[in-house]
Amino acid sequence: MIISIRKTKTLHIHKTVEVSDTSEEEIVALHLHHKCPDCARSFPTLHGMRVHRGRWCDGGQTVRSRKGSLADKAVQLSKRKAAENARDHVYVEGEEIENVHSFVYLGSKIQCDGDDLADVRHRMAIAQAEFSALSQFWQDRRLPLSVKLRIYKAAVCSTLTHACEAWTLTAAVRKKVNGFNSRCLHVITGEPYRDTATRPAYDLLLAIRRRRLRFLGHVLRMDQSRLVRRTLTAYVHGGHGAPDGSLLDDCQQKSMDRLTEMAHDRRRWERFASKIY
């Protein structure tokens, strides 16, 4: 086997290190391309600079917080990279391997602290780009709503839900997914955000739960010696006291033996997954 040193990274397993708040001097050091002609603040995108000028700029008299902005995130990322670089390094044939806080493998983002929200945000950013690229379809009044929803499910939702079976579907992840779905459906249907969040034309979160159940059935039908099956059994403690957000979230009232029996009857398991609401 040939190892590509250039593509190999080292990921130390630890809690995410808290870094200091971003200062204006650190943002200036980024040498961003777009500068406000009124207050000389710099921005990573032309759109961000225009929003600043149109809504907030008063000639530099008031200093508005950058927390959560693209520039702030860029500085925070650079600080985390520096913190990782200060840790011990791995060497392969005398060549130093780069330390990383997170990396993308097979389309999924893996972070040092195991936070599933990192992967959810990563997939959401890709799905948002797909959604924005199809803006002409959402604005076309000649297309019926049913066609738009089919395009949304096929092009956008399929991108977001890549490897969703591996997510820990906690309350924070559910809220994030529902919020994304609500914003997209607001653009597609024109309905208020509250309605698209509580009564969505397409329930993306429900679709994810059903997809995860179908994957669970596939795992339960495996031989008990298979590593995936053994890992699932160990992770959920034999079906008792399964952690919040696990694959067994929608069937915790049933034992593993009972679930295994149901899963071997594919039609029965499909009916079980379809009844989840």
β partners of residue 258: none
Which of 71 and 62 is assigned the larger pLDDT?
71
Q: What is the pLDDT of residue 122?
A: 94
- Average pLDDT over the chain, rounded to an integer: 88
| Lowest mean pLDDT segment, chosen from 59-73, 108-122, 262-276 | 59-73
pLDDT at 50 over 60: yes
Task: Write the DSSP string, 222-277.
Answer: S-TTSHHHHHHHHHTGGGSSPPTTSTTGGGTTS-HHHHHHHHTSHHHHHHHHHT--
Residue 5 has pLDDT above 90, yes or no: no
> What is the pLDDT, as a whole number, of residue 1?
55
Dihedral (CA of 56, 61, 67, 72) sign: positive
Residue 237 is predicted with a pLDDT of 63
Tell me the DSSP string of 151-186: HIIIIIIHHHTTTGGGS---HHHHHHHHHHHHHHHH
Residue 224 pLDDT grade (very low, low, confident, very high; cuts 50, 70, 90): confident
**Which residue, 228, 217, 209, is CA-closest to 161?**
209
* pLDDT of residue 132 exceeding 90: yes
What average pLDDT score do residues 184-189 get?
96
Ramachandran angles phi, psi of 270, nearest 5°? -65, -40
- Residue 85: band (very low, low, confident or very high) from pLDDT cuts 50, 70, 90: confident
The pLDDT of 10-32, averaged and rounded, is 85
Residue 132 three-state SS: helix
* Domain ranges for the chain: 1-100, 104-202, 210-274
What is the per-residue pLDDT for 68? 83
